[in-house]
Amino acid sequence: MTDTLSLTQQLISRRSSTPDDAGCQALMQERLAPLGFRFETITSNGVINLWARRGEASPVVCFAGHTDVVPSGPLDQWHSDPFTPTIRDGILYGRGASDMKASLAAFVTSIEDFVARHPGHTGSIALLITSDEEGSATDGTVKVVEMLAARGEKIDCCIVGEPTCVAQLGDTIKNGRRGSLSGRLTVKGIQGHIAYPHLVRNPIHQAAPAIAELAAIEWDRGNAYFPPTSWQISNIHGGTGATNVVPGTVEIRFNFRHSTASSKDSLKTRVHEVLERHGLEYDLEWEESGKPYLTPRGSLVEAISAAIKEVTGLDPELSTTGGTSDGRFIADICAQVVEFGPMNASIHKLNENVPVAALEPLRAIYLKTLEKLLSQ
């Protein structure tokens, strides 16, 4: 029983379904307080956030993560209680095991080891922890970032503990994420009896050519780190349910997952140009849920890549695939943000798990990264 395994089990046993922290942050504070950290708790609409820092100087190396987990789902389909950490055949099962309580535990134990070895280290160590990553993410990390920005406090390097690895620990680092821009388009027509087409204007028929054009557009070609921007429809709603009525409106919901090669404004402009060219009468509401960000090769990527190589023997792949993460908020005050954590194959699934054998290497990778960045 290692310290990292023990702490992971303690965190899993706390029923921290989003946005409930369930005492996870208090447990982490208990471990870090003897090391000289100072703590600030930021609460917002029932969400608990923690900013912890040891040291006053730069560079500031931050570990970021979340204590909240997604709902467990049907309990009768779990092989053991999702909040009773259980080891079977070398695998630790429990909700949040890989997303992301193993990383939180490894944050703490790596910091404990680092401070013991380097009590007079350069720079500062920080943690930014929220209980609102799996939910709406409106009262979590973004609130801490706003607080830090208001007082001019910056982060130099940030490691987000999201589960990034695919086949084995160390194979993948996320060094950026695509932005997410959604639209709700309502195309207006004239409702009427389907047998009298000269008295109606079918908005579905009118929208179809514009949809075809939007689907065929090459928005950009991506770049060295990002795939091309993607435009996808997620929902189309139109009609009254009757088979003899032409609807008065059709609603189309779509989403861009876009790289740094396109801005939200350029994408919006091009969509409106298509709709106007097709002569549509429409309303279009936009929502940005995440800005794209990218950390190219530099001190942080090189440090964590070298640490992974030393611990696992692997040369990690840099990737920007997947959905959004809280890195999108942290990038506003931090020039270098990466994500690295355990395997992601079981996240959000029934019987979520993490190999016990991955926990100590994960701690060692975080420790060696700290040593490369702060013990020079």
Do 128 and 75 reside in the same domain of the chain? yes
Is 40 annotated as ligand-binding? no
Q: What is the DSSP letter of 145?
A: H
Tell me the pLDDT tens digit for each residue of 7-26. 999 999 999 999 999 999 99
Statement to judge: residues 144 and 29 lie in one domain: yes
CATH number at residue 257: 3.30.70.360
Confidence of residue 323 (pLDDT cuts 50, 70, 90): confident
Query: Where among 258, 290, 322 does a domain terminate?
Result: 290
Nearest C-alpha neighbor of 190 from the set 202, 208, 206, 205? 202
Q: Which residues pair with 62 in a beta bridge?
A: 126, 158
Question: Do residues 100 and 126 both lie within one domain?
Answer: yes
Q: What is the pLDDT of residues 263-313, one digit of tens each?
A: 999 999 999 999 999 999 999 999 998 889 999 999 999 999 999 999 999
pLDDT at position 376 over 80:
no
The residue segments making up the domain with residue 231 are: 179-290
Locus of tokens 């876009």: 258
Phi, psi of 16 (to 5 degrees): -95, 55
Is residue 354 within 8 A of residue 92, CB to CB? The reply is yes
Closest CA to 42 of 152, 131, 160: 131
- Evaluated on CA atoms 337, 342, 345, 347, the torsion sign reads negative
> Which of 290, 306, 323 corresponds to the end of one domain?
290
The domain tally of the chain equals 2
Q: Are residues 309 and 357 in the same domain?
A: yes
Give yes or no: residues 37 and 81 share one domain.
yes
Residues 274 and 317 in one domain: no
CB 238 within 8 A of CB 185: no
Q: Judge if pTM exceeds 0.75.
A: yes
Which letter, b or e, does each residue of 281-310 get, where b requires 16 or more Cβ atoms within 10 Å of its Cβ?
ebebeeeeebbbbbbeeeebbebbbbbbee
What pLDDT is stored for residue 332 in this prediction?
94
Rounded (5°) CA angle 229-70-358: 85
Q: What is the pLDDT of residue 375?
A: 82
Indicate which residues carry an active-site annotation: 68, 133
Confidence check: pLDDT of 196 > 90? yes
Residue 133 has pLDDT above 90, yes or no: yes
Q: Tell me the CATH number at 308.
A: 3.40.630.10
**Residues 364, 368, 370, 375, CA torsion sign:** positive
Which is more confident, 109 or 289? 109
Q: How confident is the model at residue 29 (pLDDT cuts 50, 70, 90)?
A: very high
CA atoms of 161 and 100, how far apart (whole Å): 7
Instruction: Work out the number of other CB atoms within 10 angstroms of the CB of residue 11.
Output: 27
Q: Is the pLDDT of residue 66 over 70?
A: yes
Q: Does 235 share its domain with 108?
A: no
* Domain C-terminal end among 244, 266, 290: 290
> For residue 1, what pLDDT is reported?
84
Is 162 labelled as part of a ligand binding site? yes
- Asked whether residue 146 falls in the same domain as residue 24, the answer is yes
The answer to whether 58 and 123 are in contact (CB under 8 A) is yes
Q: 334 is written with which tokens?
A: 């931090």
CB atoms within 10 A of CB 89: 6
For 99, phi then psi, to 5°, come to: -130, 85
Whether residue 271 is found in the same domain as residue 346:
no
- Mean pLDDT computed over every residue of the chain: 96
Ligand-binding annotation for 205, yes or no, is no
Do 214 and 341 fall into the same domain?
Answer: no
Q: Is residue 277 located within the same domain as residue 350? A: no
Other beta carbons within 10 angstroms of residue 237's beta carbon come to: 11
203 plus 284 within the same structural domain: yes
pLDDT value of position 322: 83
Place of tokens 């007079």: 120
Q: Are 163 and 344 in contact (CB under 8 A)?
A: yes
Query: Average pLDDT for residues 23-47, to the nearest whole number?
Result: 97
Q: Quick one: pLDDT at residue 24?
A: 98
